[in-house]
Amino acid sequence: MLDIQQLHIQLGDNQLRYQQQISSGDIVTLQGVSGVGKSSLLLCIAGFIQPVSGQICWAGKPISSLPIEQRPVAMLFQENNLFEHISVLKNVRLGTANIDDSQIFAAAKELQIAEQMQKMPQQLSGGQRQRVGLLRTLLRPEPLILLDEPFAELDNQTRTIAANWVNKVARAQHKTVLLVTHQMEDVDILADRNWLLS
Amino acid sequence: MFTKPSNIVGLLFILIISCVTVLAFQGLIGFSQNGADLALLQDSYFHSILLFSIKQALLSALLSTLLAWPIARAIYYYPNIYFKQTFLSLSLLCFVLPTLVLITGFVSLLGLSGFITPFLPEQWSLYGLQGILLAHVYMNLPFAVRAMHQQLQNIPDSSWILARQLKFSRWQRFCMIEIPSLSANLGLIFGFISILCFNSFAVVLALGGGPQSTTLEVAIYQALKYDFNIPEALTLAWSQFAIAGIFFVLLYRSNSVPWLSKDSTQKLWIPSIGKTTKGIYLLIYTGTFVFMLMPLIALLPGVLAANYSIDLIVDVLQALSLTLVLGALSAVFAMLMAYCIMLPIRSAAQHRQLQLQNLLQWLANHTLIAPAMVLCVGLYILFLPLIDLDQLGIIFVLILNTLLILPFAIQQIRARVLQYDSDYALLYQSLKLTFGQKISIEWGYIKPVMLSTFALVLLIAMGDVAIFSIFGNNNLQTLPWLIYQYAGSYRIHEASFASAILLLVYFLILLKIERAKHHA
């Protein structure tokens, strides 16, 4: 279980406060108006922002004081998910040492990016880049997945394909997913619960 | 951050180079026992050299930076201009050219019996402020051109596309895209050149005309060499260290956010230019090309007139071998140290510890502002009673050369590694990469800069005369020292031949490295 207890983040003049429990294996969508602190929460769970007070626990153990590298988290950022100077396939292999290439290509095929794997990131469209990032994040062994607007650059059809793929993989591998989205359609396809921040 | 092993190595290197400087000053203070001669600070002689040092440094930097701008624009907006790559290689060559070679070339062109002198006004003299400015601009303008061109190259295509879409006028493009891309580093380029010229030694020694055109560094040399007046040398050295140090701190404090962009080899949307603009750019570019080539071509008559003997060729080749070995070792050490030193600086930058970052940068780069002559002489005096410097002097040449080229290495790789962190720090931390993976991915990103920086510091190290003049011996001679020996005994044709060989080697190294950089 992911347990967010009295978490307080200071972002400039903004005071952000969070309290939530998410059961293991659940997919929770996170919604709210811009600036309400959705991405900040994800960055705090991943260890990139230090909270002022409060605690984040995973499986009963506090993780707030752990270095980034030791947290059980795989995160997809809004941007800058790929190293521009190495190929797409090499990018995907980073952090997925547990997965062989056949599994990577099988997943890439489902996400309709199998033909892009040998290219360089700058040859890809925004939507393709986003799916590459998504693919790697879900294939990583970490049990807690944080996705910051993962479908923002996808058309409706591809969006549905990607959302269904996330749903399938997360459920099969019993991953806990916290996903920021502005689309109710994503909530309908994926969410066990929708967390509305205000 | 002080507990990470990689940061500790970097901090250790910073401590070592700081200790070397402290030891050098300790050597001088311990020898004189009286400390600095503070009465000198009231002396008009001191005021005049101080003013001249600052004046020539600021003028050199201003001229180099201002003149470099249109040239950088010319090669950016006219990307298929003829011999562009050669021009850029030649620019680097001018920056690292051993001063003795440059002075020989300038004297052949603009000296008392120079080729061009008859066409110049009667009052023309290569010696004095104008000669110093000319030599400083020759060495630093090409550096500024390269730096500005690189900044312009960093403008992402998306900015030009947006400018087209928003129907920007030429003036708007200039103000909204070009100026911001350059302004981030313009102060840094100006300041860097100012410091180099403020500490300039060989150019001022060769072209300075008496007390009216002397800098602090040359005055230190004169105080040590002619009077062995250590209290005076110390006062001058502290003054130089303090002024250059304050300048350096200001420079790094005012350093604004770098113009960051994703790397893109695609430059499809650079605004096209009209025929008239093309003509003007061609004219500026060709003029600069000629200006850079002239002092080098002026060496040719001397080369043709040289009296070639087996002895001469053997001497030159032996000196060349030693130069290459010493230069390569210094460059390798400097690159390793620079990379390690950047680790704690990067860590401070990521944690937004600006003051700590500035302090570490200042300490790491302080050999750029510490008078080289003081470092050499101080260490010489300190170690003379302890070590056989005739036998081990060459090791000191290696160490001091490494320390003096270190700021150049740091300066060159700094922007690139900070940009890497700015773009990818979240990503590589989030991916929990192993040490090997981190290094391998980062290497792919910084390789072109590392190669070109290696070439730069290699060539600077190969051109050293000052350190060798104190720690070297006549059994083992470097090529620049051999050139100095030939020139000192009026064997000008031999000096020209040796200079030409050194130039050729410089050019070959540059071509090789630039090619490797483009394939990287």
SS3 sequence, B199-264?
CCCHHHHHHCCHHHHCCHHHHHHHHHHCCCCHHHHHHHHHHHHHHHHHHHHHHHHCCCCCCCCCCC
Q: Which residues of A touch B433 (CB under 8 A)?
A: 94-95
Between CA B481 and CA B390 the distance in angstroms is 16
Backbone angles phi, psi at B366, to 5 degrees: -65, -20
pLDDT at B260: 36
pLDDT at B517: 66
What is the overall mean pLDDT for chain A?
Answer: 91
CB contact under 8 A, B441 and A77: no
- The residue type at B483: I
CB contact under 8 A, A77 and B429: no
List A residues 127-156 in contact with B (Cβ-Cβ < 8 A).
140
Question: By the CB < 8 Å criterion, does B351 face chain A?
Answer: no
Q: Which fold has domain A2-196?
A: Rossmann fold (3.40.50)
Question: By the CB < 8 Å criterion, does B445 face chain A?
Answer: yes
Between CA B72 and CA B144 the distance in angstroms is 8
Instruction: Name A21's bridge partners.
Output: A3
Q: Which residues of A touch B429 (CB under 8 A)?
A: 47-48, 68-69
Q: Which residues of A touch B264 (CB under 8 A)?
A: 84, 122
Between CA B474 and CA B482 the distance in angstroms is 9
How do residues B314-364 score in pLDDT, each as one tens digit?
999 999 999 999 999 999 999 999 999 999 999 998 888 888 888 898 888
Distance in Å, alpha carbon of A46 to nearest chain B alpha carbon? 8
Question: By the CB < 8 Å criterion, does A79 face chain B?
Answer: no
Given a cut of 80, whether residue A87 has pLDDT beyond it is yes
Backbone angles phi, psi at A75, to 5 degrees: -125, 140
pLDDT at B256: 43
Question: By the CB < 8 Å criterion, does B307 face chain A?
Answer: no
Question: By the CB < 8 Å criterion, does A102 face chain B?
Answer: no
pTM comes to 0.78
Chain B residue closest in CA terms to A136? B431
pLDDT, greater one: B304 or A110: A110
pLDDT at B263: 44
Chain B residue closest in CA terms to A45? B430
Share of chain B above pLDDT 70, in %: 94
Which whole number is the average pLDDT over A175-187? Answer: 93
Q: Which residues of B touch A83 (CB under 8 A)?
A: 424, 427, 441, 444-445
**Is B334 within 8 Å of B411 (Cβ atoms)?**
no
- Number of inter-chain CB pairs under 8 A, A vs B: 49
Question: By the CB < 8 Å criterion, does A72 face chain B?
Answer: no
- Nearest alpha-carbon partner for B373 in B480, B222, B232: B222
Given a cut of 70, whether residue B261 has pLDDT beyond it is no
Chain A residue closest in CA terms to B427? A81
Distance in Å, alpha carbon of B432 to nearest chain A alpha carbon? 5
**Is B91 within 8 Å of B292 (Cβ atoms)?**
yes
Share of chain A above pLDDT 70, in %: 100
Question: By the CB < 8 Å criterion, does B3 face chain A?
Answer: no
Task: Given the cut 0.90, state whether the ipTM is greater than it.
Answer: no
pLDDT at B4: 78
Name the region of A35 (left: φ>0; alpha: ψ -120 to 50; beta: rest): left
User: For an interface test with A, which of B421, B430, B445 has the most A Cβ atoms less than 10 Å from its Cβ?
Assistant: B430
pLDDT at B113: 76
Between CA A56 and CA A4 the distance in angstroms is 5
Give the pLDDT band of residue B266 (cuts 50, 70, 90): low
Q: Which residues of B touch A46 (CB under 8 A)?
A: 430
User: For an interface test with A, which of B431, B437, B517 has the most A Cβ atoms less than 10 Å from its Cβ?
Assistant: B431
Question: By the CB < 8 Å criterion, does A75 face chain B?
Answer: yes
Backbone angles phi, psi at B282, to 5 degrees: -60, -40
Instruction: Name A10's bridge partners.
Output: A15
CB contact under 8 A, B427 and A83: yes
CB contact under 8 A, A95 and B433: yes
Burial class (CB in 10 A: 0-12, 13-18, 19+), B286: middle
CB-nearest partner of A94 from B265, B426, B431: B431
Q: Identify the DSSP state of A50.
A: -
Give the pLDDT band of residue B35 (cuts 50, 70, 90): low
pLDDT at A170: 95
Q: Which residues of A touch B427 (CB under 8 A)?
A: 77, 80-83
CB contact under 8 A, A86 and B441: yes
CB contact under 8 A, B429 and A84: no
Q: Which residues of A touch B445 (CB under 8 A)?
A: 83, 85
Burial class (CB in 10 A: 0-12, 13-18, 19+), B437: middle
List B residues 259-278 in contact with A (Cβ-Cβ < 8 A).
262-266
